[in-house]
Structure 1
Amino acid sequence: MPNLLKELKELLDSRAFERRQVVLSSGKTSNYYFDGRKVSLNPKGAYLIANIICDMIRNDNVNAIGGLTMGADPIVGAVGVAAFEQGMNMSLFIVRKEAKKHGTMRLIEGPALQAGQRVVVVDDVITTGGSIIKAVQAVREVGCEVVKAIALVDRQEGGAEALLEMGVKVEAIFTAADFGL
């Protein structure tokens, strides 16, 4: 996995970070912007992310993996393919920002989650933890156990601590400090 991590770090550093003043979705101002989709929607990036996450969850007896749309979508799809190739049996899910107003009126898309299932929640970045918290709350309402949350990058701005207070362990592949930020 060390070579996968090195390759992913190089891709993230060259494609996903913009070092400039920006206002984040949390309303905070930052001297950089991170857009993980620039890597998770790249074939090589998707491959690296998926295989690294599969290694991170291999021994966790996970039944499903998913997260809040949009940051989680490409990660979830890529992990699903890699997990299948590696013989890891799990389902995938995406949590909508709000329940559909028509049709199935679902908040969680994908094969129905069942109470007692062990799930992992993913996202491209964690700042305040808002996106992951919303996904955690949605799957907990179904009765699932959140084994852990995984982010490509933790901005180290309190999100991991907020999730820990909810009883959710956070594992970031990288932190902002890994990129000198």
Structure 2
Amino acid sequence: MSDTAAALKAILLEKSVRTGTFTLASGAQSDLYIDCRVTALDPFGANLIGKLGWAAVREKIKAEGLQIASIGGMTLGADPISLAVGMTSAVENPDEALQVFVVRKEPKGHGRGKQIEGNFAEGQTVIVVDDVITTGGSTLKAIDVIEREGGKVAFALVLVDREEGGRQAIEARGIPVVALYSRSTLLD
């Protein structure tokens, strides 16, 4: 594990990982709760997410010869991760910088009634982001919105895969998942 990955893991374990009995967004009970927002909204955590996320994204883009326009996902969990990766891409590789967008849970009730805000346009190939995947439900909802708005999702970037079927559900839709950590690697 790189120094960057180890440093981010330490922050995640300190700030975001809790054990006990919890009800997850899916309604399932779990002995583990991971609130990545606390880490992603920490300036040190965000910086590390940007570095590690951009390295993983760039490796996938290069390996597959992808042309990616932007990165984003369902608000709120994906927002700081997407922005951190986008900002790091702009600093490290300005010619390959990723624009950032946000997928609202519901279309805006006023103005243009958009469900995707920010730097997204029909026809773009994008990366969908999520902080934690359990069942994959929120990631799949974001994918549905992106596709309905004319985007093509190249792959998903997730901070933590809880290893509870979410990766398989997303990949069953033909969308590969790049996870920075899994439950196993985070809690080893």
TM bin, normalised by shorter chain, reads over 0.9
In the alignment, structure 1 residue 119 sits paired with structure 2 residue 118: no
SS of the residue 1:84 aligns to: helix
98, 113, 136: which one aligns with 1:105: 113
Partner Cα separation in structure 1 for residue 160 and residue 120 of structure 2: 29
In the alignment, structure 1 residue 79 sits paired with structure 2 residue 94: no
SS of the residue 1:32 aligns to: strand
The amino acid across from 1:15 in the alignment is K
SS of the residue 2:47 aligns to: helix
Relative to the length of structure 1, the TM-score reads: 0.94
Alignment of 1:1-181 (within 5 A): 2-58=2-58, 59=62, 60-86=66-92, 87=94, 88-115=96-123, 117-180=124-187
Identical columns (%): 39
SS of the residue 1:128 aligns to: coil
Relative to the length of structure 2, the TM-score reads: 0.91
Partner Cα separation in structure 2 for residue 81 and residue 112 of structure 1: 16
Partner Cα separation in structure 2 for residue 83 and residue 158 of structure 1: 30
The amino acid across from 2:72 in the alignment is G
Partner Cα separation in structure 2 for residue 143 and residue 8 of structure 1: 34
Q: Which runs of 5+ in 2 are unaligned?
A: none
Kept in 1, the 8 Å contact 2:70–2:119? The answer is no
Q: Which runs of 5+ in 1 are unaligned?
A: none
Partner Cα separation in structure 1 for residue 97 and residue 43 of structure 2: 22
Count of matched residue pairs: 180
